[in-house]
Amino acid sequence: MRDFGAGFGYLVRGQKWVGGHGRWFGFGLLPGLVTLVLYAGALVGLGYGADDLTAWATPFADDWSSPWQGVFRGALTGLVFAFGLFLAVITFTAVTLLVGQPFYESLSEEVDRSEGGEVPESGLPLWRELWISARDSLRILVRVAFYGILLFACGFIPVVGQTVVPAIGFCVSGFFLAEELTAVALQRRGVELKERLRLLRGRRMAALGFGVPLTLSFLVPFVAVFLMPGAVAGATLMARDLRGENADRDEDPEENDREGGNLPPFGGDQGVHQIPHWRRNP
């Protein structure tokens, strides 16, 4: 659970970062607003058409007596809409990132710059970056669709389908949402999809801690739009740690504290701090 908390910490730090950089927050809102309008229209259409879709897909239930026909088709309609919402949550990020590739890449670079060290650049033309992003998003969507169909089928299992299955669904959504968001920073570093997934599986609980709360918050209208800039910033911070880019800063915490004025130089009268760290840790 500690790693889960660390993942949530990246999300919080990302929101704080954009909160302190108002220009970048406004800059990152634009792609989400465009995508939200498109998805809102699609979900409204699904809401109106789900009943007809269910009736068309279950002609064998036309002759069922009441109330069994209504109960069966009502439950199936709910599952269809839930499945559509599940796909919307996952693909919303992918589509928003695709629409806002130049916006979010610039934001991610600024986060790297604020953290110090090098600011990686892909060196690829925009059309090539868009192609790679679209290709990887499609690969993720195939994986998500597989899990979605499996969970959809499991939803018919009594009790388990109404309790355990939704919880697993949110975990699946959260993991792949974390992948989509960290891809902004990792793709600039030349990290391929297979390696990105390996890195996240190595920190699975951190990925869930980052992605699951974000997935839940994305269910609230308009929240996704306002959280996206901070989510990209937090994912960049997470990507840096996944790649060990902050390791050098953490190798000698005493030296970092001394530079920040928290510890006296060697030779002071602070006990253990008089001994060089290479003597204390052979």
Cα gap 127→101, rounded to integer Å = 10
DSSP character string of 136-149 = HHHHHHHHHHHHHH
Nearest to 152 by CA among 212, 75, 62: 75
Sign of the CA dihedral running 79, 81, 87, 90: negative
pLDDT tens, residue by residue, 268-277: 443 333 333 3
Q: Which of 87-101, 169-183, 205-219 has the weakest average pLDDT?
A: 87-101
Mean pLDDT of 1-30: 89
Among all chains, which residue has been given the structure tokens 């880019």? Answer: 245
pLDDT in tens, 228-259: 899 999 999 999 999 888 655 544 444 444 44
Q: Residue ranges per domain, the chain?
A: 2-242
pTM tops 0.75 = no
Number of C-beta neighbours around residue 142 at 10 A: 9
DSSP structure string for 206-231? HHHHHHHHHHHHHTSTTHHHHHHHHH
94 and 32 Cβ atoms separated by less than 8 Å: no
